[in-house]
Amino acid sequence: MIDLDGTLVHTAPEIAAAANLMLADLGRAPLPYSQVESYIGEGAIALIKRCLTRQINVEPDAELFEQAETLFFAHYANNAAESKPYDGVIDGLKALWNKGYRLACVTNKPEEFTLPLLKKAGLADFFEIVVSGDTLHKKKPDPIQLHHICAKFDVPEYEAMLVGDSATDIAAAQAAGCFIVTVPYGYNQGRPIDVSQVDATISDLTELTGILI
């Protein structure tokens, strides 16, 4: 199971552009790219709220949020599929595919953006299952997405692995009882990965086959 934003695809430039267009429509000052990037990882709703409040876990005015949500999704629909895979992603996925591993993409991004992005990036055909942020009633860090994928593959959680880039991925994998492997790039709210919490770290996806048995 592999995360999307920050693991497979570098989506922050397009997300930041859409967020700042949203803020401009609301008459608000733009945010630095690095600040928007630090807000990525727990889905679009959390991102929009953080852009409005410029804080983590603070609720904006409900009417303002509703307006902002509509604006953000409208702008993001125009550029979401333009994001590019990280170096090593396609080669890493090909290597896993050639060795017969069954692959799923699991993301907090809504399906309407996930599927076109995977297709345009040339990644869609690698994944038997794609679970987006709105596929189920909860998403990472809740383990429900990972349980769902394991059930679909008929694989016990202790034989499954999640590859991700953030504390959100680590929490989801640990709650599900899966192995967790992380990449050092990506989005973890501006903090380095706590390597003591993971089973392994890799520089990019081409290293995955080397740690799998």
Q: Mind listing the pLDDT tens digit of every residue in the chain (213 residues)?
A: 999 999 999 999 999 999 999 999 999 999 999 999 999 988 899 999 999 999 998 999 999 999 999 999 999 999 999 999 999 999 999 999 999 999 999 999 999 999 999 999 999 999 999 999 999 999 999 999 999 999 999 999 999 999 999 999 999 999 999 999 999 999 998 788 999 999 999 999 999 999 987
Catalytic residue among 3, 5, 165, 169: 3
Query: What is the distance between the alpha carbons of residues 82 and 117, in angstroms, rounded to a whole number?
Result: 7
Please tell me whether residues 117 and 69 are part of one structural domain: no
Is residue 21, in this structure, part of any structural domain at all? yes
Is residue 163, in this structure, part of any structural domain at all? yes
Please tell me whether residues 130 and 177 are part of one structural domain: yes
Is residue 5, in this structure, part of any structural domain at all? no
Compute how many other C-beta atoms are within 10 angstroms of the C-beta atom of residue 98: 9
Please tell me whether residues 92 and 26 are part of one structural domain: no
Is residue 202, in this structure, part of any structural domain at all? yes
Looking up residue 176, the CATH number of its domain turns out to be: 3.40.50.1000
- Beta pairing, strands 84-85 & 9-10: antiparallel
pLDDT, the chain, mean? 96
Please tell me whether residues 117 and 171 are part of one structural domain: yes
Token look-up 């949203």 returns 22
CA angle 207, 3, 120 (to 5 degrees): 95
Residues 107/141, Cβ–Cβ less than 8 Å: no
- The whole-number pLDDT of residue 41 equals 84
Is residue 15, in this structure, part of any structural domain at all? yes
Q: Where does a domain end: 25, 54, 80?
A: 80
Please tell me whether residues 71 and 100 are part of one structural domain: no
- The whole-number pLDDT of residue 190 equals 79
Question: What are the structure tokens assigned to 93, written together?
Answer: 């996925």
3-state SS string for 132-181 = CCCCCCCCCCCCHHHHHHHHHHCCCHHHCEEEECCHHHHHHHHHHCCEEE
Please tell me whether residues 87 and 54 are part of one structural domain: no
Please tell me whether residues 166 and 201 are part of one structural domain: yes
Looking up residue 33, the CATH number of its domain turns out to be: 1.10.150
Is residue 4, in this structure, part of any structural domain at all? no
- The set of residues, in sequence order, having a beta carbon less than 8 Å from that of 169 and lying 6+ positions away, is 3, 7, 140, 141, 162, 163, 180, 182
**161 bridge partner residues:** 179
Eight-class DSSP state of 131? E
Q: Where does a domain end: 65, 80, 95?
A: 80
Please tell me whether residues 97 and 108 are part of one structural domain: yes
Please tell me whether residues 167 and 103 are part of one structural domain: yes
Count up the domains in the chain and report the number: 2
Please tell me whether residues 107 and 198 are part of one structural domain: yes
Domain that holds residue 95: 83-211
Is residue 1, in this structure, part of any structural domain at all? no
- The set of residues, in sequence order, having a beta carbon less than 8 Å from that of 104 and lying 6+ positions away, is 1, 2, 127, 128, 129, 130, 131, 149, 152, 153
Task: Please write the tens of the pLDDT for every residue from 28-83.
Answer: 999 999 999 999 988 899 999 999 999 998 999 999 999 999 999 999 999 999 99
Q: Where does a domain end: 80, 97, 119?
A: 80
Please tell me whether residues 89 and 148 are part of one structural domain: yes
Active site residue 3: yes
Please tell me whether residues 175 and 70 are part of one structural domain: no
